[in-house]
Each structure stands twice: as C-alpha cells, then as structure tokens.
A and B are shown apart, each in its own frame.
Chain A
C-alpha cells in the first residue's frame, strides 16, 4: 500500500523528501566506498577486526570477489543472493555482495530488504555493511543517526540468520555491523563496528509480537478498502477523501508526536488525535502521569475539580498541580487570587 499517496488523497500529505544535493552526495560516496572492486571496503572492515581475524593479512587488490547478483524479479534476486552467499562461504575468501536482496517474513507477509552490502569473511562469517552519508567527525557521529542505522542493520542481520542456518559449514552472522561514513568534512570513508546485539533482541521481540496482517484485516468491517481508485493517469485518486478517511478510521491509530518523523500518515493521525483532544498529542510522557484520563478535556475538568474521583491519585495530583500553578501565577494578575494563599510574591 502506498501510504504517501493515501496521505495525499486524504489532504494531509507527508513532507518527506530528499534534496538532490544530499542524493548526489550520498551516491557519490557509496560509489567511492565500493570502488576498486571492494578492496577498500574490506580493508576498512579488516582494520577494525580483533582477535585471530585481525592477525590474518589484509586483502590485496585482487583478493575480493564481487559476485554478480542480477536476476529477474525479487524472488530471483533473493535466490541469487542465497546462492552467492553459499558459494562465498564455501570458497573461504573475502567476498563482497553489493546490494543483495533478502526476504523476510514480517507478520505473515513477505518483505524484501536490500542492504548496502554484505561481506563474507574467509572464516565463513558474514558482516552487514551500512553506508551512510552523515559525517563521522573526530570518530563520533550523531547518536540518533547511528542508532537508526544500527536498528536498520539489525533487521538485515535478522533476515540473514535463517540463510546462515541453511548454508552448512558453520556460517554465522556477526553481531557487529560495519558502519561506513564520510570522515570529518571530506568524502573519504571512515568506518566503525557497531554492536547490534541489543537492537537484534529488540527487533526480534517486536517482530514476534506483531499481529499478523490477516488478523488485522479480519477485525476490520467487511468491505474496508484503502484503494484510491486511481484515474487513468495513475496519479489522481477518484475515491472521495471522506470515504477514505472513514475507511482509515476503522483501524485504531496510536498517534504520538514521534510518528511525525517516521510515518507518511502522521499528519492525518495527528489531526484526528487533536480533534479527539487526545493527551498523546502533547507527547508520550504526558500520558504516563495522567492515569486513566485520556482526553485533554477530561484532564482539565478533573484539575478544576469538576469531574473525576478525588481518591484517584492521578486526579488528586492534578488538582494539587492546578492549585499550585494558579497560586504561583496569581500575584501576577494572570489568574483569580485564591483566598489566603499568597506567599512567594512574584519578582
């Protein structure tokens, strides 16, 4: 399903987009990293290994194999990737798989993943390589971006694991991924090994807990569809946006402001959450201390003493907070002065 097109049809288009400056730069960097037959990339990896693997000599100019992975269709490409991995593991030499295609089962639906590269070591272990265009200045990069890259690589590693199980001869997926970034302010690649064991565990748990798409679909009312009924130009939706919004309402959203950075439909969900007066629109943290109160209206009413059970600790805390806030603002003339409480004058 094209969520971006759906969001556009709903009148709340997403604002994701990539500047062509970033696009050009990112591609130039990736091409540079993989240039010279992958030797540079494998050398970067080798230089960061520890233990016995580090003692082995670094690969020379002709020591890295790059198998051809082209094939027709996603199934063909994943089969080709699996074959190339098996051959490379058996061959026992450095092999660079450029843009392999991996298949993964997400909640009962197959998904295809394309890592930037996977390196097969001579000892038969595999390393996921993530090439990013954000800079590593003095050996450190933006923590949020590194975290996102680690989570992404963890998904690739998870998709590789069943493959490694099927290939004999003790193939393993390494728990450290190679993150390749531009060094300082140049276009020269620098790399770091990132331990993804934590991300692996998290992703594995989340995937295990996902409700199957079939189950979600079964819970929806009969005939719910997000089909845009595109016109002949393949772009203009013919289905009215009201009808689409109604169909979307059948799926319970769980909007939080963090969605804005990740989901094409976030603006639609936000508008809906705001219309409902959900406290989540103010941030995930807001929800935690409000107990069973989920709408802004009910919280304000409880704070004002108009509703809510005074024995509920959340309600009691709210009333206390409201009283303290009114008291602090009172001397400034912003709120009516509660009787007999006017210590702490404003400066």
Chain B
C-alpha cells in the first residue's frame, strides 16, 4: 500500500466512511453482468452446496444440492448451472466485428494481413470475493474432464450434457482473472477495494458486508460501527445476521441449521423410497417439504450476498469509466473470441498442467499486462498519478521557459528544451527517457537534461512534434502550461517471442508429449 493509500485509510477512520482511492472506474463493468454467488460444502473440494445466479437483480436463480455428498445430486446441480450460465456465455459468440491482424504465412514465412473475427462484446462474471474467483477455477477444473454419455458411451457415471463445456468456460474465466486489469471475471471485494479506502485493513476488506458498510454506511451510523455489525452481529442462536459472502459457510450455520436440515432431507428421502403404497403420497410430501426447507435455508444465506454484490455494482456504476478501460476490455474480447474459436474447433479441454512454453508465455503476458495496467491507471486517474509522483516515477509542474534548439542533421529537427518548476522529486538520471501524454492521445518522448535552481528541471523533447522543422501546433508546451512527465513507458511491451511448444529446449523438459488428458477416475469416495 502506498503512503497515499495509507493516508486515505486514516482519513476514512477520521470521517467514519470510506474515502476514494480513484477518481474514475478502472475496470469494465458490463451493462448486463452475470452475478454468481456460490456456496460450498465445508471440508470438501469442489462440492457445491448451492448458488444464486443470474443477470437480473430481482430474479436470481436458486440452485441447491440437498445432499452435497451425493454424486447424482451434484451432477444435477452442475447441469442446472450449465443451463443457467451457458446461454449467457455463448450469447456473445455470434455478434462479431472484423479486425485486421498480421499473421505469418506458413508457406512464405512473411507477415500478411488477415481479417479475423472479434466478438463485439463479451460476457462478464461477477462473484462476491476473491475466494469466489478461486472457486470458479476449482469448479471449472472439476467439470472439464468429465465425459458425457455422448462423448464416451462406456464412461461410468457420465456427466450430463454441457457440463464439461461449462467446465472449460469456467476454467477460461478463472485463468483470465489472473491477468491484471482483465474484467471477464471480477470479485466484488477487489473491485470495491480498488476504488475506495476503508478505515480497516486490507485483510478485513475481504469481508464484502464490512467493506460495503464502510463505503455506504446505513443512515447516521459511522462506517466502523456498521462494519463491525456486518462482521460480527449474531442473533440469539449464535447465527450471523449478515452471512459470509462465501463460498465457505459459517460453521455455526452448518452445525445448527444446515446439518439438521440435511439429515431431515436424508430421512425423508429414505422413507419416500421405502414407503408402502398407502404411505407413498405422505412420504413424497414430507420429502418435498424437506427439500423446500433446505432451499429456503440456503436462500437465506445467499440472498444478502446477492444483494450486496448488486449494491456494489450500483456504487461502481456511479463512477465514470477510465479512458483506457475500453482498450483493456477489447483484450478481454479477444480472449473470449479465442476461447470461443477453440471450443468451436473441437479442441480438447485445457490441460491439467501447462507445458513449459505455455506457462512462460502466460507469465510474460501477465507481467506485460501488469505494467500496462499500472501505466494506464496512472494516465487515467490523477489520484493514481499522485502516488507515482510521490514514488518519484513521475513529475508534474508549470512550464517556466521553452528554448528552441535543433538537431545538427542535414534536415534540422526541433529539439526544444522545456524547463518546468515542480515540487516533485523524481528519481531520474541524466539522459533518461521521459514520456508525456499529448492531448490527442499520442505519447511524446523526451530526455532528462538537468536539475535547475529552485525546484526546476529541464527536459529536451525528442519526438511527437511532426515531421517538419516547425513543431506541430500544440506539441510543444508553452510557459504557463501544466505538464506531467512519467519515467515509465505508457505502452510497455513484452519481451521477445517464445518458441513454439514443439521447439521447447531440453533444459525445459523438451517438447511436451502429445497425450490427450484422461478424465478423472471415478472413485467410490464421490459418495460418502
């Protein structure tokens, strides 16, 4: 956390409500996001308990697993989840734009322009917390290697159709969420934490209810008190009034409410199966009652979180979108289009482990994305730039003098010297390259020349002034103008290309063996 961020948290403590950490919204927020609030069974990996899912805040779809250890019920849940999610995810695959891209011609080896499809928009998944993002990944992993009866008629316990497909999509969303600045899958706590500083620690900010209590406290109540209530308030039975945002449930809820309800359901099911004909109707009714009770119970845990996520959406919508957000969202659209193409081409699901080249490529892409995000956020938002200026990575000030100079070349080019007064203390060495955003969106480069007296420093413009001897109008600042130079590149690029997987050097394990991933073995333990 930067000093400015720490200061913002302290202001929040003083004011009793969250303070802004950004003046614009730095992430894309879809007009119609798909909100997904999952709950998981304690002590078991990837055993969902229930979920609310949907794009309409008034009409969430409730999915429930009445007995989380029953494989068939788990599959029924996942099939229902696929029904709820896949139409939304796939709906964006058909509206396309055409983009031109340079590709290497396999015959000539030259780069030739080709026209490719780019989806005009992409789906966006919102989950309550960072743990929810991890859970989406885990669900994706548990589903994508399953085989349907159609894919493999001999598979024991075949998965319902489309479950493996949803697994592949969720894996893609989960993987994409690791790319800094991406917006295909976002956690509400992280979104809100990016834009507001609360009067508590980042650790406590992971509680969605407490975070919202700081940002938008109920009438008349200080944020700290509201957050404490959201965090700890319990009713007479010891149950949390504000259930956790999941996917983990509150242990007290598990022990006092859920376990008895599941036991009741189990008993009703056994009775319904063994009921004598004259008792059959009554047993069926008891089973339906038990099922309804479970659904209501889980809904009571899920609904507050569902509402909290939409509350967060409202708060974020009130912020204007940052200038570079659309550019980053376009990269998300490329990512979505790429996966759509892989699914349509019938490629196998993502492997369990990436080969060396893919892993290195992903890592490099994430590093580049991080650098790009840092630069773009600073350019879009003076508050972020302020932190960079404090860190000595940028400086801003008023131009005091401009001296025109020219290169010695045959065709002299302008290389004006600009002196500005600044209170910032940039960590800059002689001859270092500086960057400035021009009003038209281009970047102008310059060189640091020297520090002057009285907090002034001089830079020499080295580009962005057009082709002639006379600089283009507006490309050279004038005395009295306020300008901001950064030491970091505005559009950082990644390193050199990596070889194809087939060319993996022996130092990295050599080319990966081309074996298709086998489905997970089915074990008796799926049902305990």
Q: Give residues in A with beta carbon < 8 Å to B.
A: 15, 17-26, 28, 133-135, 137-139, 182, 184-188, 257-258, 260, 267, 274, 277, 279, 281-283, 285-286, 289-290, 296, 299-300, 303, 317-318, 320-325, 327-329, 331-332, 334, 342-347
Contact = CB atoms under 8 A, between A and B. Distances in A.
Among B199, B381, B382, B389, the one with the most A-chain Cβ atoms within 10 Å of its Cβ is: B382
Given A138-B353, A347-B380, A299 B46 contact: no
Given A21-B41, A137-B45, A286-B9, A185 B386 contact: no
Contacts, number: 171
Contacts of A20: 254-255, 259
B201 A257 contact: yes
13 contacts: A19-B254, A21-B42, A22-B42, A25-B44, A137-B45, A257-B202, A260-B204, A325-B7, A325-B386, A331-B382, A343-B396, A344-B482, A347-B380
B293 interface: no
Among A18, A257, A343, the one with the most B-chain Cβ atoms within 10 Å of its Cβ is: A343
Interface string B382-408: 110111011000001110000000000
A323 B4 CA distance: 10
Contacts of A135: 44-46
Interface string B190-216: 000000000111111000000000000
A299 B8 CA distance: 11
Contacts of A22: 42-44, 251
A304 to B, nearest CB: 10
Given A23-B43, A186-B523, A257-B203, A321 B483 contact: no
Interface string B499-528: 000000000000000000000110101101
A296 B259 contact: no
Given A185-B45, A186-B525, A258-B203, A282 B10 contact: yes
Contacts of A327: 382, 386
Nearest to A134: B45
A308 B160 CA distance: 68
Contacts of B520: 184-186
Nearest to A142: B134
A279 B381 CA distance: 27
B386 A300 contact: no
B138 interface: yes
A276 to B, nearest CB: 12
B199 to A, nearest CB: 8
Contacts of A321: 2-4, 7, 390
Contacts of A323: 423
Contact of B141 (A18, A26, A137): A137
A15 B14 contact: no
B1 interface: yes
Among A23, A188, A296, A324, the one with the most B-chain Cβ atoms within 10 Å of its Cβ is: A324
A303 B68 CA distance: 54
B255 A19 contact: yes
B142 interface: yes
B383 A347 contact: no
B525 A187 contact: yes
B69 to A, nearest CB: 9
Given A182-B45, A285-B6, A300-B11, 17 more contacts: A18-B251, A20-B259, A21-B44, A21-B258, A25-B528, A185-B520, A187-B523, A282-B200, A286-B9, A320-B390, A320-B423, A321-B2, A322-B7, A325-B386, A329-B383, A344-B396, A346-B23
B14 A282 contact: no
B360 interface: no
A327 B526 CA distance: 59
B43 A347 contact: no
B528 A187 contact: yes
Contacts of B23: 328-329, 332, 346-347
A296 B9 CA distance: 9
Nearest to B383: A328
Given A343-B482, A347-B320, A286 B13 contact: no
A234 B141 CA distance: 49
B323 interface: yes
Contact of A184 (B3, B42, B45, B353): B45
Contacts of B521: 186
Contacts of A133: 43
Contacts of A343: 396-398, 482-484
Interface string B1-41: 11110111111011000001001100000000000000001
B9 A282 contact: yes
Contacts of A15: 232
A338 to B, nearest CB: 11
B193 to A, nearest CB: 12
A20 B41 CA distance: 10
Nearest to A136: B45
Contacts of B322: 347
B203 A283 contact: yes
B496 to A, nearest CB: 29
B80 to A, nearest CB: 19
Contacts of B390: 317, 320-321, 324
Contacts of A299: 7, 10
Nearest to B12: A282
A19 B8 contact: no
B249 interface: yes
Contacts of B523: 186-188
Contact of A274 (B10, B224, B254, B398): B224
A303 B7 contact: yes
Contacts of B251: 17-19, 22
B482 A342 contact: yes
A327 B382 CA distance: 9
B509 to A, nearest CB: 15
A324 B254 CA distance: 49
A21 B254 contact: yes
B249 A19 contact: yes
Contacts of A182: 45
Among B6, B202, B385, the one with the most A-chain Cβ atoms within 10 Å of its Cβ is: B6
Given A17-B251, A283-B201, A347-B320, A296 B14 contact: yes
B315 interface: no
B528 A28 contact: yes
B73 interface: no
B110 interface: no
Contacts of A184: 45, 520
B95 to A, nearest CB: 28
A186 B352 CA distance: 16
B252 interface: yes
CB-CB nearest 6 A-B residue pairs? A22-B43, A343-B482, A187-B525, A135-B45, A19-B254, A19-B42
A22 B7 CA distance: 41
Given A20-B254, A186-B525, A318-B3, A282 B201 contact: yes
Contacts of B389: 324
B43 A285 contact: no
Among B13, B14, B43, the one with the most A-chain Cβ atoms within 10 Å of its Cβ is: B43
Contacts of B382: 327-328, 331, 344-346
A334 B22 CA distance: 12
B195 to A, nearest CB: 13
Contacts of B252: 17
A224 B258 CA distance: 43
B483 to A, nearest CB: 7
A21 B201 contact: no
Contact of B20 (A134, A138, A334): A334
Given A20-B255, A347-B23, A347-B322, A325 B142 contact: no
